[in-house]
Amino acid sequence: MSAEGLTGELLRDGEARMQKSVEAAHRDLSTVRTGRANVAILDRVEVDYYGSKLPLSQVATISAPEARMIVIAPWDRNALAPIERGLMKSDVGLTPNNDGTVIRLIIPQLTEERRRDMTKLVHRKIEEGKVAVRNVRRDIIEDLRSLKKSGDVAEDEEKRTEEQVQKLTDKYILELDIARTAKDAELMEV
């Protein structure tokens, strides 16, 4: 394989890995509870349903009919109690209200202190995403240096590829910063 083919393959692989790191950070951010109803906060809730651990979304319809309420309508009425237990065991921090047909989760207004805590959590999750992107950059540069050492890539090709890797890194770091800013604004919204 030519030097351009090797470096191109490294770049494509690196970009895909960086993209996955950013997507993972976005998924983590979607589970951070704000003062507004967001069904994504229930993505990690599991329900013990007839002996199987199932995601909540596989046993019920989840909707947010109001800004401060999530409604969970199970497909089988026998699933109400297991869903309620799953919600209580989860880290969602909301108390389910069961009326016999649906479960309602009321999202309380966030206090100023809780908003600051959530902002810190968001910043930590974004920083973890940035570290993952930088680790991909480090791996690519290490692979590039080993290719140069083995003689498969010339020095000018190595420098050019390093610059491209840095541009990719900057692009994904900026994307994470934009996501952090948007989530901060959502958290501070009263």
For the chain, helix (H) and strand (E) counts, in that order, are: 4, 6
Picking from 2-6, 45-49, 65-69, 95-99, which range would have the lowest pLDDT averaged per residue? 2-6
Residue 52 clears pLDDT 90, i.e. is over it:
no
The residues spanned by each domain of the chain are 3-31+111-188, 39-106
Helix (H, G, I), strand (E, B) or coil at 27: helix
Helix (H, G, I), strand (E, B) or coil at 126: helix
CATH dotted code for 39-106: 3.30.1360.40
For residue 100, how many C-alpha atoms fall within 13 Å in the half-sphere facing its CB? 0
- Contact in structure between 11 and 165 (CB atoms under 8 Å): yes
Domain 3-31+111-188: CATH class, spelled out:
mainly alpha
Give me the residue label for tokens 């909707």: 63
- Per residue in 130-145, pLDDT (tens digit) is 999 999 999 999 998 9
Q: How far apart are CA 31 and CA 10, in angstroms?
A: 32
Q: Residue 3: which pLDDT band, with cuts at 50, 70 and 90?
A: low
In 37-154, where does DSSP find H-type helix? Answer: 80-89, 112-150
Kindly report the CA angle at 160 between 172 and 129, in degrees rounded to 5?
20
Fold match between 3-31+111-188 and 39-106?
no
- Per residue in 89-103, pLDDT (tens digit) is 887 777 888 888 899
Residue 1 clears pLDDT 70, i.e. is over it:
no
Phi, psi of 64 (to 5 degrees): -125, 85
HEC string for 146-186: HHHHHCCCCHHHHHHHHHHHHHHHHHHHHHHHHHHHHHHHH
